[in-house]
Amino acid sequence: MLLAVQSSLRAGDVVLGLHGQIEFVLKDDSSPLTEADLQSHRILCEELTGILRVPVVSEEAELEYKVRKDLEYYWLIDPLDGSKDFLAQNGQWCINIALMEQRHHITQPILGVIYAPMLEKLYCAAKGCGVYTLCDFQNKTLQSLKTSQIPSYIALTSNFHNTQESRDFIQRYYLDSKPLGASLKFCMLASGHAYIYPRFTGSKEWDSAAGDIILFESGGVVLDYVSKCRLAYNKESLKNNYFVAFSKAAVNGMIYKEFLVNG
């Protein structure tokens, strides 16, 4: 896990050096692609394949389903999660790294790193090992995540992708809403500083995988809006279904139970 953390830090240094550059092109889905995306992708591919020589799947390098469907392990990365946040210079953009494992035809993240360089916040988790934060950036020292013991009934929303469905969901349960960028929403849930995150707009597997394992190891869970099961990965389409992410405090609560029955 520490090697993946170090890889994210190196990529973060590169992206920080490009912060403030506003040149970009639009991808097919109308999201922006910057030089920072490309440089971070290059660094992560070099670093991660040096740790474990398995394929890398990312927003900048999708693998065809016929190539990846039988992979036992692969890296799933978003080299710059929150490109709009990056261009807006609000600091709420991240580097996402997940190591994926396929067992019995089910693929799930077993390691995740989310690094927000501008905020100097890094969260990481590995299957069965809990969640950690980087408390000393100079000496690369990890410590167990300290979680809030006071329930926070806040629903998180996207800075740029909020929808009427999300607003209706939040209003139905009389929750306070708070916009936040990129995968930081999963980290807020894991630390107990937010309660729930409904995502009723498009996202891809690299947007959720690192946050999924971090939240799961904290006692929370990300559930598919349709199946009510954990999000599925390595599908033929890398698009996520709509989902709701629950903090540990929310699991088995009233909203969680009603969601399982009614959605």
Residue 222 has pLDDT above 60, yes or no: yes
Average pLDDT score over residue span 44-54: 97
The CB density around residue 91, as the number of other CB atoms within 10 Å, is: 17
With a pLDDT cut of 90, the percent of the chain lying above it is 82
Q: How far is CA 241 from CA 85, 151, 173, 207, 263, in A?
A: 23, 28, 22, 12, 13
Residue 111 has pLDDT above 90, yes or no: yes
pLDDT tens-place string over residues 186-212: 999 999 999 999 999 999 999 999 999
Which tokens sit at 60?
Answer: 């900048």
Return the higher-pLDDT residue of 10 and 162: 10
CA distance 135 to 133: 6
CA distance 197 to 15: 27
Strands 176-180 and 154-158 turn out to be parallel
Residue 13 has pLDDT above 80, yes or no: yes
CA distance 200 to 112: 23
pLDDT of residue 199: 97
Q: How far is CA 96 from CA 40, 67, 114, 237, 257, in A?
A: 11, 22, 5, 20, 30
Q: How far is CA 224 from CA 15, 108, 198, 211, 219, in A?
A: 32, 13, 10, 14, 17
Average pLDDT score over residue span 70-88: 95
pLDDT of residue 23: 67
CA distance 163 to 58: 25
pLDDT of residue 151: 75
Tokens 């020292």 label which residue? 141
Cβ–Cβ < 8 Å for 221, 248: no
Residue 25 has pLDDT above 70, yes or no: no
Which tokens sit at 65?
Answer: 């389903």
* 148 pLDDT tier (thresholds 50, 70, 90): confident
Buried b (16+ CB within 10 A) or exposed e, 153-167: ebbbbbbeebbeebe
CA distance 231 to 213: 11
Residue 217 has pLDDT above 60, yes or no: yes
pLDDT of residue 40: 97
pTM of this structure = 0.95
Tokens 């692609």 label which residue? 33
Quick one: which of 129, 155, 145 has its CA closest to 247? 155
H or E segment at 149?
A: none
Cβ–Cβ < 8 Å for 48, 77: yes
Cβ–Cβ < 8 Å for 241, 226: yes
Cβ–Cβ < 8 Å for 108, 89: no
Average pLDDT score over residue span 65-91: 95
Average pLDDT score over residue span 86-100: 95
pLDDT tens-place string over residues 27-41: 666 577 888 999 999
* 263 pLDDT tier (thresholds 50, 70, 90): confident
Task: Give φ, ψ of 75 to 5 degrees.
Answer: -85, 140
Chain mean pLDDT for the chain = 94
pLDDT of residue 59: 82
pLDDT of residue 26: 62
Quick one: which of 61, 57, 14, 6 has its CA closest to 36? 14
Q: Which domains does the chain have, with CATH numbers?
A: 2-144 (3.30.540.10), 154-262 (3.40.190.80)
